[in-house]
Amino acid sequence: MTVQAAGYLVICIVAGIALIAYSFYQRSQLRASESWVAASATIARAELLTLSSSDSAEYRIAVVYEYEANGARHTGERIGFGTRGYARKKRAQEELERYRVGDTVMAYFNPEDPAEAVLVREAPFNLLYFVMGICMLGLAAGIVLWTTIRAGQ
């Protein structure tokens, strides 16, 4: 196996394991949040953020909400688990419409750490991370197979 092939192999294995581990981590957060306590929350701020480069743009939603947990006021900023980015501005604006300033929504907070809360119990890219991790490990297996076959010639 060449040094270059070994480098690609290491990158694929590390990236694959990291993606799968992150997918499992998000999944564990989702499972844990099933026992979180529901609380009424008020949207204090909601805005559309644009992250742009020279040839593309990504849209994200920033939301701040206030809720009461165990008799104390808290402020939350997480909508769900993981990053929520949108390639299309219209889709981001549609999502933003769900969180108008002053609206009352349901938030879910961790009873063991009431400062930890989300508005929705979902991780939108969880499956994608898992599949990408499997693909990276498959690519690593392909590199091993290719270098083995090539070495035998």
Whether the per-residue pLDDT at 14 is higher than 80: the answer is: yes
Residue 153 has pLDDT above 70, yes or no: no
> What global pTM score does this model have?
0.76
Phi–psi pair at 3, nearest 5 degrees: -65, -40
Residue 13 phi/psi, 5° resolution? -65, -45
Domain boundaries, the chain: 1-33+125-153, 35-120
Please report which confidence band the pLDDT of residue 81 belongs to, taking 50, 70 and 90 as the band edges: confident
**Region 99-125: what's the mean pLDDT?**
92
First to last CA, the chain: 13
Give CA–CA dist 56/75, Å, rounded: 32
Give the model confidence (pLDDT) of 33-76 as tens digits. Answer: 899 999 999 999 999 999 888 888 899 999 999 999 989 999 99
pLDDT of residue 23 exceeding 70, the answer is: yes
pLDDT tens for residues 128-149? 889 999 999 999 999 888 888 8
User: CA-CA distance, 72 to 69, in Å (whole number)?
Assistant: 5
Average pLDDT over every residue of 74-81: 93
| CB-CB contact of 79 with 98 (8 Å) | no
